[in-house]
């Protein structure tokens, strides 16, 4: 029995897709257990680039079964479009793709709700991906308006439920925004019944499946989405996503106990990025920030928005590692720093004159945190072709050592480029 979890420890986009793909060869099943098509995981596979959103990275590998577990929120239209596009390039996924009947469904009213809510907030908007993720999770937690994948296979109940929910939503939407628009319940019903038919072969009780596979000694890889600092309980609330995107979410989202997971791998970038609004103490609004953005191609996979860039924040990232319970770290995108004269790491914050290494719970405190930096000389060498730790320039090794010390867990893998081969194993 073996299970590994890959968790982003910052604000997402840490290169989880690359790491999951790299580990896929040693696993039989890859599981997405949270989020939805707000995620964008870029994977280089067989020399081609794939931008995966709802699909687990295992979908590219014909030997592997991919699972969307109960904690995922599924937009069936987006799911089928992504599946069609991947099947065109990689062949049929039949028999190796499973969707939980417990997963919640994203409907057109979720996107409309998000549009209204983000518009109302104006300058205080969260800056979400506008995929209806938050409103769908809100309905899940609120229960009365929630619809799960399994509900679509009881058409009479499904139609009734949709009629009630659409009427309720429309009343509220119109009160907030007279321009609000929604398809009728029967339009949604007709459309979603077609999706339900196409999804039928994939829908199953994925918890039962995963437990059977664990008993049969199959190796399971859990693919995190978003990152620990976007976790709804532990992140920079309310500028977070609507699910447990730190390590805490693996169990609740998948139905597999964390006691069955032997390895929790945290993925961190060698610097920090963030998409959307919210506090970011080490953000660089200068030429260095622009240099990192251009060199790292830091533009959102899902929305194309430029990512905000800054120095590595060891206070925030070590906190992300602690709440996630990771036992090792993969340090990605180290090559992006190749050309810098000096590199900074935030090793503590100063808040109201006090030094702290605790990550504050309130965004007002995070917003006034002044980073206390350790400045290190840059290595000014192209490391994209390096394949061993000893092959790294001493200054780059020092940087990795500083991150290891501050994270308090070993860096066991270093990524120096998007390709699989551009990886250094540190044992």
CB of 161 to ligand GDP, least distance (A): 33
- Partner interacting with residue 336 (select from ligand IMO, Mg ion, ligand GDP, none; CB below 5-8 Å by kind): ligand GDP
- Contact (Cβ atoms closer than 8 angstroms) between residue 410 and residue 331: no
366-404 b/e (C-beta count within 10 Å ≥ 16 → b) = beebebbbbebebbeeebeebeeeeebbeebeebbebbb
- Partner interacting with residue 266 (select from ligand GDP, ligand IMO, Mg ion, none; CB below 5-8 Å by kind): none
- Options 99, 346, 416, 424; binder of ligand GDP; rule CB under 6 A: 416
Question: CA 381, CA 387: separation in Å to the nearest integer?
Answer: 14
- Options 336, 345, 348, 386; binder of ligand GDP; rule CB under 6 A: 336
Question: CA 80, CA 195: separation in Å to the nearest integer?
Answer: 8
- Options 40, 247, 253, 266; binder of ligand GDP; rule CB under 6 A: 40
Site membership for ligand GDP, residue 16 (CB under 6 A): yes
- Options 38, 213, 282, 415; binder of ligand IMO; rule CB under 6 A: 38
- Contact (Cβ atoms closer than 8 angstroms) between residue 282 and residue 346: yes
Nearest to 180 by CA among 191, 166, 159: 166
CB of 404 to ligand GDP, least distance (A): 17
Nearer to ligand IMO, 180 or 277 (CB): 277
Nearer to ligand IMO, 111 or 169 (CB): 111
- Partner interacting with residue 230 (select from ligand GDP, ligand IMO, Mg ion, none; CB below 5-8 Å by kind): ligand IMO
Give the x-and-dash track for 272-311 against ligand IMO (CB under 6 A). Answer: ---xx-----------------------------------
- Contact (Cβ atoms closer than 8 angstroms) between residue 134 and residue 128: yes
Footprint on residues 126-185 left by ligand IMO (CB under 6 A): 126-129, 131, 133-134
Site membership for ligand GDP, residue 41 (CB under 6 A): yes
Q: Is 96 exposed, middle or buried (0-12, 13-18, 19+ CB in 10 A)?
A: middle
For residue 140, report the phi and psi dihedrals to the nearest 5 degrees: -60, -50
Nearer to ligand IMO, 115 or 161 (CB): 115
**Range list of H helices, 242-354:** 249-254, 287-295, 314-324
CB of 293 to ligand GDP, least distance (A): 12
* Coil vs helix vs strand at 43: strand
Site membership for ligand GDP, residue 14 (CB under 6 A): yes
13 is catalytic: yes
Nearer to ligand GDP, 41 or 115 (CB): 41
* Coil vs helix vs strand at 398: helix
- Which residues lie near Mg ion (CB under 5 A)? 13, 40, 301
- Options 15, 23, 39, 336; binder of ligand IMO; rule CB under 6 A: 39
CB of 320 to ligand IMO, least distance (A): 12
- Options 13, 112, 113, 231; binder of ligand GDP; rule CB under 6 A: 13
Site membership for ligand IMO, residue 225 (CB under 6 A): yes
Q: Exactly one of 27, 41, 234, 251 is catalytic; name it.
A: 41
Q: What is the 3-state secondary structure (H, E, C) of 142-162?
A: HCCCCCEHHHHHCHHHHHHHH
Contacts of 190 (CB under 8 A, 6+ apart): none
DSSP H/E element including 308: strand 308-310
Strands 263-269 and 2-8: parallel
- Contact (Cβ atoms closer than 8 angstroms) between residue 281 and residue 351: no
Strands 263-269 and 328-332: parallel
Residues noted as catalytic: 13, 41
Which positions touch ligand GDP (CB under 6 A)?
8, 12-18, 40-42, 296-297, 301, 332-333, 335-336, 415-418
Which positions touch ligand IMO (CB under 6 A)?
8, 11-13, 38-41, 126-129, 131, 133-134, 225-227, 230, 241-242, 275-276
């Amino acid at each position: 029995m073996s299970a590994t979890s890959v968790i982003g420890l910052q604000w997402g986009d840490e290169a989880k897709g690359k790491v999951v793909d790299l580990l896929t060869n040693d696993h039989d099943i890859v599981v997405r257990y949270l989020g939805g098509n707000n995620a964008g995981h870029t994977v280089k596979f067989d020399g081609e680039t794939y931008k995966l959103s709802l699909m687990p990275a295992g979908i590219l590998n014909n030997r592997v079964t991919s699972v969307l577990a109960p904690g995922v929120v599924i937009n069936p239209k987006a799911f089928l479009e992504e599946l069609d596009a991947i099947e065109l390039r990689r062949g049929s996924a039949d028999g190796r793709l499973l969707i939980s009947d417990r997963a919640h469904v994203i409907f057109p009213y979720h996107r409309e709700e998000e549009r209204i809510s983000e518009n109302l907030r104006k300058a205080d908007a969260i800056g979400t991906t506008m995929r209806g993720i938050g409103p769908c999770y809100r309905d899940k937690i609120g229960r009365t308006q929630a619809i799960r994948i399994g509900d679509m296979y009881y058409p009479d109940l499904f139609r009734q439920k949709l009629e009630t929910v659409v009427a309720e939503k429309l009343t509220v939407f119109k009160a907030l925004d007279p321009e609000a628009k929604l398809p009728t319940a029967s339009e949604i019903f007709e459309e979603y019944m077609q999706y339900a038919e196409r999804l039928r072969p994939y829908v199953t009780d994925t918890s039962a499946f995963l437990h059977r596979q664990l008993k049969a000694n199959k190796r399971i890889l859990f693919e995190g989405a978003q990152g620990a600092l976007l976790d709804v309980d532990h992140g920079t609330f309310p500028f977070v996503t609507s699910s447990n995107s730190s390590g805490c979410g693996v169990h609740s989202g998948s139905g597999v106990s964390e006691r069955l997971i032997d390895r929790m791998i945290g993925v961190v970038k060698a610097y920090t990025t963030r998409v959307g609004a919210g506090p970011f103490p080490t953000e660089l609004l200068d030429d260095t920030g622009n240099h990192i953005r251009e060199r790292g191609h830091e533009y959102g996979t899902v929305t194309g928005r430029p990512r905000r860039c800054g120095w590595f924040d060891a206070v925030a990232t070590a906190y992300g590692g602690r709440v996630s319970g990771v036992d090792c770290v993969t340090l990605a995108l180290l090559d992006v720093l190749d050309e810098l004269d000096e590199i900074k790491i935030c090793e503590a914050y100063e808040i109201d004159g006090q030094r702290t290494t605790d990550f504050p719970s309130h965004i007002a405190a995070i917003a006034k945190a002044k980073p206390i930096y350790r400045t290190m000389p840059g290595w000014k060498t192209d490391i994209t072709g390096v394949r061993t730790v000893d092959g790294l320039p001493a200054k780059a090794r020092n940087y990795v050592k500083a991150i290891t010390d501050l994270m308090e867990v070993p860096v066991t893998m270093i990524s120096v480029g998007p390709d699989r081969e551009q990886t250094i194993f540190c044992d």
